[in-house]
A and B are shown apart, each in its own frame.
Chain A
């Protein structure tokens, strides 16, 4: 296996933020997301020769990112981390300690709700809401029919909002 040439490397790197967003959605914090993003790119470089349709580079890359993140999720399920680490810095901005506390609590609930989704719903939700993929791209990444994607996404959204309301 050979590393991709400079042109292909640049082409892949252009999608680094898309990959990072997906990794952030699957993981629990920025540091993990960066590591996952790096792993996904290294895997992609290793398999660059396998890419049959250069036009679908982004979809191919996001598919690798998804697989990498799911593998990571499986490992983390056996070794869970404290969800207190997941609150973004922006939430800590602020005006009063009460607001900070409330915002932090909301982020924690959101993370818990996403993590508690069934895998199939979670991956659709993360790819859509964090990765910003269109329905068509979601269907291509997950190799599903668009109807299936929409139905899973709908169920995931309902579950997330229900979990957020209950708390």
Chain B
């Protein structure tokens, strides 16, 4: 309809519409008044003892379990996705890899070699001889390790990088830290 179409035909039609609505409303009210609305209303209120609460629709009754199931499903799916993603991002620690990395360290290679020698030597020798050999080997190992630590890595060769876990294994697992502290212990006593 044209916005400017506000002429008489429109008003006539509007009047006709109003008249029809009036007729419809009057007819409806006539029938409404014929029925006893108040007693019907009071009866309806009595039928619903809590007064006036309507029986909830099926959806309203079912929405709590439906919502609970939906939330539960979302939580479970999220947890599964999170675990699978975490697994892919942080693969399980491979002790073999750590071991291989540690063995590639020049200092630790020497240490493990000395451990083996010490063990085999201790089986055959007397306790005093074994102790002497052990001290000598430890001293030699420390010298070699100190030399390698102070010397710069050769050009073009990558310096191995270790995770914190690997470093802790190196320090505590092989007793290196303990050995270093024991060296200083006597000197502190003297001071």
Is A110 in contact with B20, judged by CB distance below 8 angstroms?
yes
A144 at the interface (CB under 8 A from B): no
A66 at the interface (CB under 8 A from B): no
Is B28 in contact with A30, judged by CB distance below 8 angstroms?
yes
Is A161 in contact with B14, judged by CB distance below 8 angstroms?
yes
For chain B, the count of residues having a C-beta within 8 Å of the partner chain is: 34
Return chain A residues, CB-CB under 8 Å to B165.
none
Known: A20-B29, A24-B28, A46-B52. A162 touches B1 (CB 8 A): yes
A129 at the interface (CB under 8 A from B): yes
Interface-side segment among B40-48, B101-109, B123-131:
B40-48
Is B25 in contact with A24, judged by CB distance below 8 angstroms?
yes
Is A107 in contact with B17, judged by CB distance below 8 angstroms?
no
A89 at the interface (CB under 8 A from B): yes
Known: A34-B35, A41-B41. A90 touches B52 (CB 8 A): no
Is A38 in contact with B52, judged by CB distance below 8 angstroms?
no
A39 at the interface (CB under 8 A from B): yes
A166 to chain B, nearest CB (A): 9
Interface positions of A (Cβ within 8 A of B): 1-3, 13, 16-17, 20-21, 24-25, 30, 33-34, 37-39, 41-43, 45-46, 88-91, 106-107, 110, 129-130, 157-162, 164-165
